[in-house]
Structure 1
Amino acid sequence: MKLAIITSHPIQYYAPWFSYINQNTNLELKVFYLWNFGITETIDLEFKKSIKWDIPLLDGYNYEFVPNVSKNPGTKSIKGLQNPTLLSTVAKYNPDAVMLIGYNYASLYRFIFQWNINQAPLIFRGDSHLLQCPKGWKASFRRKFISLIYSRFAAFLYVGKANYEYFTYHEVKSKQLFFAPHAIDNNRFLQAAEPAKKEAIKWKKELGIPDHNKVILFAGKFNSKKRPLDLLQAYKQANLKDVVLLFVGGGELETELKKQAAEHPNIFFAPFQNQQMMPRTYAIADLFILPSYGYGETWGLAVNEAMCLSCPIIVSNHVGCGQDLVKPYHNGLIFEAGNISDLTKLIKLAFSNSERLKQWSFKSSEIIQQYSYQQTTEGLLKALSHI
């Protein structure tokens, strides 16, 4: 079977999956990219820096970049991906099925409604959720519009429980839904785990963190969606002994974060770490926290990465992966998004029993084994068999 995959740009979480599919199935695969971010040096507006990923994103599978004529290329607006030749380019490949990863761009809207679904059915993979319940006439209109879009697809890959509920809310039938969990390149992180732990000891000294101190880690973009300021306030209020807070990354809130942390000796900062350094980043942590608020944190793949390095986890209840990856009192805790006092309480609870925290780290390692490219690919193959 010939499978075409259409996605915005090479992404460090997806590219290794495409390679896995190509090497471990009988599918003839071709990926159509609509933008070249991550391959060429490009400014990331949220990290506030120029980025080019330092791992290979185009190895091990067939791909093609479809010319993007947008004046402002990117994924921050519907007009950011405008690829007039997409339909004809995919048709020339003559696939048996087409999988779209996302749809909310000009090129993809055109493709969805112009593609001959009788010639090659469409599969959709997304990760949206409704962890904040939408209300009002706008929400009602949006529900009908999204349901109309989904009516063009024959099968859907859902990444977790919250995503499953999102699809059924938009009138997708359960028989069309196939579990294909969000995953990262687990093998790369697991193989790097031991050397990463040794590197983390050195890095800890370089950062000026005392050896005996435990580390709470925030790694990602310093923006309002991720809510690093909530974590900073909760950490201050927890007032823990021999526990430091480390922010790794960058973004629009960096100046404010450093201003509020200026007089606190146990809050540390490290700059953006590229992919090869991420195992070390998580290896330094005794607890990983993702306090995101709102719809934007559809999953939180940083949690997958942290769990590969045996991190206990605290997430807000707006983080899409929470229902799947975080088992309260087994490998972490879940707090009410935006509730700083609730987060403070859970941070204190996590560090109140060091032996229990160690057990949570083991449990994280066990849970993440079931969220790998193998399981994701099995879901894809079941969807293809269905259609």
Structure 2
Amino acid sequence: MKKLAVILSHPIQYYAPWFRYLTADPAIQLRVFYLWNFGVAESLDRGFGQKIQWDIPLLDGYDHEFVPNVSKQPGTHHIWGLQNPSLMQQVRAYQPDAVLMMNYNYASIYQFLWQWQDCPILFRGDSHRLFTESGLKATLRQIWISQVYRRCDRVLYVGKSNRGYFETHGVGDEKLFFSPHAIENQRFMDNAAQANVEAVAWKQALGIPAQHRVVLFAGKFIEKKRPLDLLQAFVQANLPNTSLLFVGAGQLEADLRSQADGVQNVFFAPFQNQSQMPRTYAVGDIFVLPSYGSGETWGLAVNEAMCLSKPVLVSNHVGCARDLVKAGENGLVFAAGNVDSLQVCLTQMLSDKVNLAEWGRHSQELIQQYSYIQMTQGLKQALVSLGIDYIDAIESTKVRNPIGKS
């Protein structure tokens, strides 16, 4: 059994189940080093604009420790939000065979990257360059980021657009291994039947007509998510027997409600915690993520919706678009920031020519290939390539970079 240290900014609802999955693997001894305790206790979420505490276990079932954060303004919204002077000491005391990093743009992690020499460093990220930036600042940033990745012995990429990002920053093919983004698929699928029952009652409680199809947006009401684009496209489409449901909270909520005032069949529901997300997706007939810019690095809400057998409509700035959306099979992709393009796709998906149930089945079939199994396989392949011999190394190295460079 080999020791793997994971360094992560804070407990995250999408990663905690993966850490439990890794802990159950007899080949891996895992310890996660957290640099901040956000999400464990009730804390202000800047995106939602309110205090939240996730209602699923974030720390159960795997080995972890917190590294004291001495930042006067702790958080992940600025480089000095994570300052952890004892990080090197605590990781070294664990004596890992490899270190997996999931963030880099923070003071403590920069220090660790530049000083650590005890064992190989792996990096797993999800950034992309779907939103093109130019100018001196962008060029200098690219040079700097390329230097960061030179410090990493192996890099795990989550999808096609993310792979292109790493290649742009000089990461060679020999360092790249596919470790797809995944959520706790089984939890969502196991709860699907009950969620569908609950969704019927919730739809009625929200005042949405029973015969209406529901266009669903679930997430933070913030600029990068572009909920206002969706509202405008819905109004333009003027679809019969169709309602638009916004679920969430955030700084754009007042604008959304103001612009929706007087518009028929637009509904709002407050922030829903993790245990309620299966019901949230179940109430929708299609799920829409209209993000614009580089901020929507993947869009794990799309994974969640697909687990509930939902067709998906996403912008071409959403990181998962090239991987999870098969046009005409389980969804459509529209031009980010283009309300007319979004309106056309909405109209097409909700026409009589589209069998939404069939598209939803394709969604659920596809998302099963984006699970903790495939996520872990990529990690093991990278470790084996470094000479770290896991007990199932022979099987795990048979498939390399299955999604290729495209």
TM-score, normalized by the shorter chain, greater than 0.5: yes
Helix, strand or coil at the partner of 1:5:
strand
Deviations 1:300-324 (A, max 9, x none): 0000000000110000000000000
1:236 equivalent in alignment to 2:230: no
Q: How far, CA to CA, are the matches of 2:137 and 2:364 in structure 1?
A: 42
Structure 1: gaps of 5 or more residues:
none
Which digits, 9 at most, give the CA deviation of each residue in 1:200-242, with x for residues without a partner? Answer: 0000010011111000000000010000000000000000000
* 1:93 pairs with 2:85: no
| Deviation digits for residues 71-129 of structure 1 (CA, Å, limit 9, x no counterpart) | 1111000011010100111011110100000100000000000111xx21100000000
Q: Which moved more, 1:352-361 or 1:43-52?
A: 352-361
Q: How does 1:273-292 map to 2 (within 5 A)?
A: 273-292=272-291
Tell me the residue number matched to 1:347.
346
| Structure 2 CA distance for partners of 1:25 and 1:307, relative to 1, 3 Å | farther
SS in 1 for 2:18: helix
2:330 maps to: 331
Aligned-partner Cα distance in 1 for 2:30–2:257? 46
Partner of 1:160: 159
For 2:283 and 2:25, the matched residues in 1 are separated by 33
Distance 1:180 1:209 in 2: 40
Give the aligned residue type for 1:48.
G
- Provide the rounded CA distance (Å) in 1 between the counterparts of 2:50 and 2:222: 14
Measured after TM superposition, the shift of residue 356 of structure 1 is: 2.2
Match of 2:204 in 1: 205
SS of residue paired to 1:225: helix
Match of 1:48 in 2: 49
Q: Which runs of 5+ in 2 are unaligned?
A: 387-406
Q: CA deviation at 1:25?
A: 4.1
Deviation at 1:24, TM superposition (A): 2.5
Counting only pairs closer than 5 Å after superposition, residues 55-94 of structure 1 correspond to structure 2 as: 55-94=56-95
Distance 1:24 1:369 in 2: 20
The DSSP-based 3-state class of the residue aligned with 2:4 is strand
The answer (yes or no) to whether the contact 2:39–2:53 under 8 Å persists in 1 is: yes
**Does the 8 Å contact 2:214/2:284 carry over to 1?**
yes
The question of whether the paired residues in 1 share the 8 Å contact of 2:348 and 2:354 is answered with no
| Distance in 2 between residues matched to 1:335 and 1:71, nearest whole Å | 42
- Deviation at residue 354 of structure 1 after TM alignment: 6.0
What are the residue-to-residue correspondences of 1:124-273 with 2, within 5 Å? 124-273=123-272
Letter in 2 for 1:248: V
Q: How many residues align?
A: 385
Deviation string 1:138-181 (CA, Å, 9 cap, x unpaired) is 22211111111111111011000000000011111111111000
CA distance in 2, matches of 1:228, 1:355: 24
Report the residue type matching 1:5 in the other structure: V
> How far apart are residue 357 of structure 1 and its match?
1.9
The code of the aligned residue for 1:26 comes to: A
Q: Does 1:35 align with 2:50?
A: no
Q: Distance in 2 between matches of 1:64 and 1:71?
A: 21
Compute the TM-score of the two structures, normalised by the length of structure 1.
0.98
Deviation at 1:342, TM superposition (A): 0.6
Pairwise CA RMSD: 0.8
Identity of aligned residues (%): 58
Task: State the distance in 2 between where 1:233 and 1:254 align.
Answer: 15
Q: CA deviation at 1:355?
A: 4.9
Measured in 2, the distance between the counterparts of 1:149 and 1:160 equals: 20
State the 4+ residue runs in structure 1 displaced beyond 3 angstroms: none
For 2:163 and 2:26, the matched residues in 1 are separated by 25
User: Structure 1 counterpart of 2:145, which letter?
Assistant: I
2:23 and 2:186 map into 1 onto residues whose CA distance is 17
